Amino acid sequence: MKMLTNLVSGIIVSGWICAIAILSVQNYTAVSVRFLRFESIGIPVGIVLAFAVGVGLIVGAIAPWLWQVTGDDDREEY
């Protein structure tokens, strides 16, 4: 089962990488990201998407570990 999980997650990540590569080649428009009062410099869309996917993968990998560490010790393990 673990091998199937690794295969599926690898396919999903490679799909994202291919989509980012295709989009960044086709759309070289510079965008700026705004958050509250802060605004970034003009960056191509592909780079913004690559950073967003990278941050999402890192957070998705760390979140289960954090939930396990901060989980209740009273619950039963099956």
Q: In degrees rounded to 5, what are phi and psi of residue 54?
A: -60, -45
Residue 75 is assigned to a structural domain of this protein: no
pLDDT at residue 4 is higher than 60: yes
Q: Considering the entire predicted model, what is its pTM?
A: 0.57
Give the domain extent around 31.
Answer: 2-70
Residue 76 maps to a domain: no
| CA gap 42, 34 in Å, rounded | 11
Q: What is the pLDDT of residues 17-62, one digit of tens each?
A: 888 778 777 777 788 878 888 888 888 877 777 788 788 878 888 8
- When computed from its CA atoms, the radius of gyration of the chain, rounded to whole angstroms, is 18
Domain count along the chain: 1
